[in-house]
């Protein structure tokens, strides 16, 4: 059974079709890359998979279950997590508190207005475990406002990991990073166990190709090429669409 299947996914805003019958199948444990120029529909595709947008047509299956019309808030409970291209974190709180809040989001205690986050030992333990995986456990008590951009990218990944996802979507996790920060985040992602399926949007071809088992190239909302790294790199349509030659 595939971890993630997208069939005929179509979304339009007014007269503009942003995704046009997109098909995608990701095997368990696979590292799948979504490539394409700006405006290709990559983030809109993610938004439909996570439930931020409902598609106009098509279906989304997560581990064999149809989640096409399942609200976004419920998909995290079904094993789907995501990072965003634009980082949105709580700058006045500590790194640990940001990740603990993400853990709280999957707990029934989130509905209790009298339950203080401080002292929730089990949630903090889970948060520290996620921070250890991204190499930030030693600065867990640091205010987020005192962190580098690269560290904030790692915090966002930790917030996804603390939800114990089966499938994780990464929307340009290297965006805005220095060369050294890119190498660090790349090493982190490559170190994650294969029981976690990952789908990533990325523009940096060199970094992305080292990550990917399979690649889907989008242009104007349509799948242009799909296959292994070697297949996609060798296809002349990739050079035409993505490399401009």
Q: Are residues 41 and 93 in the same domain?
A: no
pLDDT digits (tens, 9 = 90+) for 84-122: 877 777 778 899 989 998 888 665 444 344 455 565 678
Q: Are residues 2 and 75 in the same domain?
A: yes
Which of 128, 144, 164 represents a domain boundary (last residue)? 164
The dihedral through the CA atoms of 3, 89, 108, 158 has a sign that is positive
pLDDT digits (tens, 9 = 90+) for 118-177: 656 788 899 999 999 999 999 999 998 899 989 999 999 999 999 999 999 999 998 888
Joined together, the tokens standing for residue 150 give: 């690269």
pLDDT(58) > 60:
yes
Q: Are residues 192 and 238 in the same domain?
A: yes
- What domain range includes position 32? 1-79+166-245
Q: Are residues 150 and 192 in the same domain?
A: no
Specify the pLDDT at position 110: 46
Mean pLDDT of all residues in the chain?
88
Q: Are residues 236 and 131 in the same domain?
A: no
Name the nearest CA neighbour of 3 among 22, 37, 35, 31.
Answer: 31
Specify the pLDDT at position 117: 55
Q: Are residues 4 and 74 in the same domain?
A: yes
Joined together, the tokens standing for residue 127 give: 């948060």
User: CATH number of the domain that 35 lies in?
Assistant: 3.40.50.300
Mean pLDDT, residues 49-77: 95
Scored b (16 or more CB within 10 A) or e, 10-26 reads bbeeeeebbbbebebbb
Q: Which residues contact 123 (CB under 8 A, 6 or more apart)?
A: 100, 103, 104, 107, 117
Q: Are residues 89 and 143 in the same domain?
A: yes
SS3 73: helix
State how far the Cα of 84 lies from the Cα of 25, in Å rounded to an integer.
Answer: 21
Q: Are residues 224 and 153 in the same domain?
A: no
Q: Are residues 51 and 112 in the same domain?
A: no
Specify the pLDDT at position 210: 81
Which of 164, 183, 208 represents a domain boundary (last residue)? 164
Mean pLDDT, residues 11-40: 94
Q: Are residues 180 and 215 in the same domain?
A: yes
Specify the pLDDT at position 44: 95
Which of 164, 189, 208 represents a domain boundary (last residue)? 164
**For residue 173, how far is the Cα from the chain centroid?**
8
Q: Are residues 31 and 72 in the same domain?
A: yes
pLDDT digits (tens, 9 = 90+) for 165-218: 999 999 999 888 888 888 888 889 999 999 999 999 987 667 667 888 999 999
State how far the Cα of 208 lies from the Cα of 17, in Å rounded to an integer.
Answer: 27
Domain count, the chain: 2
Specify the pLDDT at position 204: 67
Q: Are residues 60 and 28 in the same domain?
A: yes
pLDDT(78) > 70:
yes
Helix and strand numbers, DSSP H then E, in the chain = 9, 10
pLDDT(65) > 90:
yes
């Amino acid at each position: 059974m595939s971890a993630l299947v997208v069939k005929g996914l179509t979304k339009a805003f007014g007269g503009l079709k942003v995704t046009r019958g997109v098909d995608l199948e990701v095997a368990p444990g696979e590292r799948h890359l979504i490539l394409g120029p700006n405006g290709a529909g990559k983030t809109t595709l993610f938004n439909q998979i996570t439930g931020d947008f409902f598609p106009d047509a098509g279906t989304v299956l997560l581990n064999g279950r149809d989640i096409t019309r399942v609200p976004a808030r419920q998909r995290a409970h079904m094993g789907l997590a995501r990072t965003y291209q634009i980082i949105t974190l709580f700058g006045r709180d500590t790194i640990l508190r940001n990740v603990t809040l993400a853990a709280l989001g999957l707990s029934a205690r989130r509905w209790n207005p009298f339950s203080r986050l401080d002292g929730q030992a089990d949630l903090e333990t889970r948060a520290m475990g996620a921070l250890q995986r991204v190499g930030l456990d030693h600065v867990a008590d640091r205010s987020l406002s005192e962190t580098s951009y690269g560290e904030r990218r790692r915090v966002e990944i930790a917030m996804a990991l603390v939800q114990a996802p089966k499938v994780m979507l990464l929307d340009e996790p290297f965006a805005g990073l220095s060369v050294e920060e890119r190498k660090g985040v790349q090493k982190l992602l490559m170190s994650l166990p294969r029981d976690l399926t990952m789908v990533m949007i990325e523009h940096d071809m060199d970094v992305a190709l080292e990550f990917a088992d399979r690649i889907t190239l989008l242009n104007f909302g349509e799948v242009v090429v799909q296959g292994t790294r070697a297949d996609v790199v060798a296809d002349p349509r990739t050079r035409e669409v993505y490399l401009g030659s």
